[in-house]
Amino acid sequence: MAMSKFEKRFVNRQKKGQRNIENVRQGLAQLDVNRIRDVLELGCGIGSVSAFFAENYDMNVLGIDFDPGQVKIARQMHPENNHLSFRVGDASNLNFENESFDLVLSQDVFHHISAWDSAVQEVARVLRLHGYFIWLDFTYSRIIKRIFQSLVKNYGLYTWNDIRFEFSSNGLEQHFYEQLTHGIFSYHHIVLRKSSKK
């Protein structure tokens, strides 16, 4: 789902980009970066995280976003090269072959995807065996999900148990985890590893 102008003003701030980079660096610290060559960032926005990876690690990084306007800005701010590219794409219907990436990143994206379970399946499909998925996002309490399920059609509504079940069902095992906030809107940072082919 495309973001509103208000949401774009928030997520496109330089401070937000720096925070996203720090979060991903923390997740990356849990991994053997020497095994990672091909990276996909879902919901890349204006490209700050993708560009950071391409500039600071020996990785080929592709950032995708559902919003063509965000992709246009990403290309203007971070010129594409042999290690960095951007394109329009749908996380719930990825246009890549099976086992194309060693690492997939997703920060604050899944709550924008109504078919979030399909996005999990797609991540598992495009990840290579033993590849990693760094996921940071909100989950909702059962009561919030119950209240808004019939009203909200364009956003992902899921509990922590829902998303964990979908990860596990698609062969994605927890490698690192921390809960950053608690409450009716909890925020989670998890690194998953593809342990099996579905």
Q: Tell me the two tokens of residue 182.
A: 């608690």
C-beta of residue 117 within 8 angstroms of C-beta of residue 182: no
Domain ranges for the chain, please list them.
5-194
Phi–psi pair at 149, nearest 5 degrees = -55, -45
Q: What's the pLDDT at 77? A: 94
**Could you report the per-residue pLDDT of 121-178, keeping only the tens digit for each?**
999 999 999 999 999 999 998 888 887 777 777 778 899 999 999 999 999 999 999 9
Reduced to 3 states, what is the DSSP secondary structure of residue 124?
helix
Q: What's the pLDDT at 20? A: 84
Q: What's the pLDDT at 11? A: 55
Q: What's the pLDDT at 10? A: 46
Phi–psi pair at 101, nearest 5 degrees = -130, 150
CATH architecture of the region 5-194: 3-Layer(aba) Sandwich (3.40)
Q: What's the pLDDT at 198? A: 58
If one compares 18 and 103, the residue with the highest pLDDT of the two is 103
Residue 32 has pLDDT above 80, yes or no: yes
Residue whose tokens read 């921390």 = 178
- Sequence letter at residue 107: Q
Regarding pTM above 0.85, the answer is yes
**Could you report the per-residue pLDDT of 70-127, keeping only the tens digit for each?**
999 999 999 999 999 999 999 999 999 999 999 999 999 999 999 999 999 999 999 9
If one compares 182 and 31, the residue with the highest pLDDT of the two is 31
Phi–psi pair at 167, nearest 5 degrees = -60, -50
How many Cα atoms within 13 Å fall on the side-chain side of residue 43? 26
Burial grade of 37 (CB within 10 A; 0-12, 13-18, 19 or more): middle
Q: What's the pLDDT at 181? A: 79
* Buried b / exposed e along 172-193 (16+ C-beta atoms within 10 A): beebbeeeeeeeeebebbbbbb
Q: What's the pLDDT at 191? A: 95
Q: What is the mean predicted confidence (pLDDT) over 49-75?
A: 94
Distance CA(167)–CA(172), nearest Å, equals 5
